[in-house]
Amino acid sequence: MKDSRSFFEKLTGSSRIEHQLEENPGPALAKATRLPAQSSNWPDAGEEGELTVDVFQTPDEIVIQSTVAGVKPDDLDVTITQDMVTLKGKRQKTNEVSEKDFYYKELYWGTFSRSILLPQEVDADAAQATLKNGLITIKLPKLDKQRTQRLKVKME
């Protein structure tokens, strides 16, 4: 009999439900529909989740974007230095569901943070952050390293 599992399935020992349904649909279907959700791999209480981010540049700015759906602007804290941005926040559950009633439990609830080392220095005082449709966008104007300024020497 030919093993039709994918490389990933062989590597991890996982199995698609289609394979289980082909072999014996009864137990596989019961397993998929009746078992409570397994604990997720999210951090335990007291630990923080880490946001995923996109960081890119325009000619004048470094832009950071991250999905923070379900988080209110008041629950977000953005700190900026010339070479780093830290985004912290908390996603709070709006309802309580018993563990035994879950089929899937993949959403992250709790505190999260992410520090991003910037590829170049920015003007922290001119930075802007907006939240729209669950996406935070932080725009950081680049500092012009080529710009020079002459100082006039005063006699004392």
The reported pLDDT for the residue numbered 35 is: 45
Q: Nearest-5° angle of CA 101, CA 107, CA 110?
A: 105
- The distance from CA 71 to its chain's CA centroid, rounded to whole angstroms, is 12
The H-or-E segment that residue 61 falls in is strand 61-67
**What pLDDT tens digit does each residue of the chain (156 aa) get?**
566 666 555 555 555 555 545 555 555 455 444 444 444 444 455 678 888 999 999 999 999 999 998 899 999 999 998 889 999 999 888 888 888 888 888 888 889 999 999 999 999 999 999 999 999 999 999 987 777 777 788 888
What's the confidence (pLDDT) of residue 92? 84
CA angle 72, 78, 84 (to 5 degrees): 150
- Domains annotated on the chain, with CATH: 1-35 (no CATH), 49-141 (2.60.40.790)
Q: Give which of 50, 55, 56, 63 is closest to 114, Cα–Cα.
A: 50
Q: What is the Cα 11 distance to its own chain's centre?
A: 26
Q: Give the pLDDT confidence score for residue 63 in this predicted structure.
A: 97
